[in-house]
Amino acid sequence: METQFPSKSAIERAWFVIDAQGAVLGRLASQAARILTGKHKPIYSPFLDTGDHVIVINAAKVRLTGTKETSKIYRHHSGYPGGLKERQAKILRAERPTKLVEEAIRGMLPKTPLGKQMFRKLKVYAGEKHPHQAQQPSPLAIEQS
């Protein structure tokens, strides 16, 4: 008996909207990454992109627990000597609120070209409005357990 794998034309992609207002960042990111990878579908395969599109709204109102607002540090390096840049989460939220959610979700996706392809299906917006009404996204509730 042969194992059946879905072809590119057989993969149907849905659109989901996640409201991040009051949601804990890690829980939101893990559920969004699960949808992006396609682990919620019965046709999931680790080497195929079977995931759906995810739209995150109200990213500026996501919640960080404990003292992460001041103690969590986001780092990146320019590649030049002395080029390490560090920012606290509260400063990053003030400058670019969508970056908090994007970085959390990116960290939960595979670090391969397939993971980059999955990340392209993520759209994050700081406010309530998004330009994807034509795709008829369905709301997705975040489990707050």
Q: Are 127 and 119 in contact (CB under 8 A)?
A: no
d(CA 29, CA 22): 13
Q: Where does the pLDDT of residue 9 fall: very low under 50, low under 70, confident under 90, or very high at 90 and above?
A: confident
Q: What is the pTM of this model?
A: 0.92
Give the CA-trace dihedral at 107, 111, 116, 119, to 10 degrees. -20
Residue in 53, 49, 48, 26 with CA at minimum distance from that of residue 107: 26
* Domain locations in the chain as residue ranges: 14-139
Reported as a single tens digit per residue, the pLDDT across 23-75 is: 999 999 999 999 999 999 999 999 999 999 999 999 999 999 999 999 999 99
pLDDT mean over 95-99: 95
Q: Where does the pLDDT of residue 145 fall: very low under 50, low under 70, confident under 90, or very high at 90 and above?
A: low
Helix (H) or strand (E) holding 122: strand 122-124
Q: Where does the pLDDT of residue 134 fall: very low under 50, low under 70, confident under 90, or very high at 90 and above?
A: very high
Helix (H) or strand (E) holding 67: none
Write the CATH number of the domain with boundaries 14-139.
3.90.1180.10
Average pLDDT value for the chain: 94
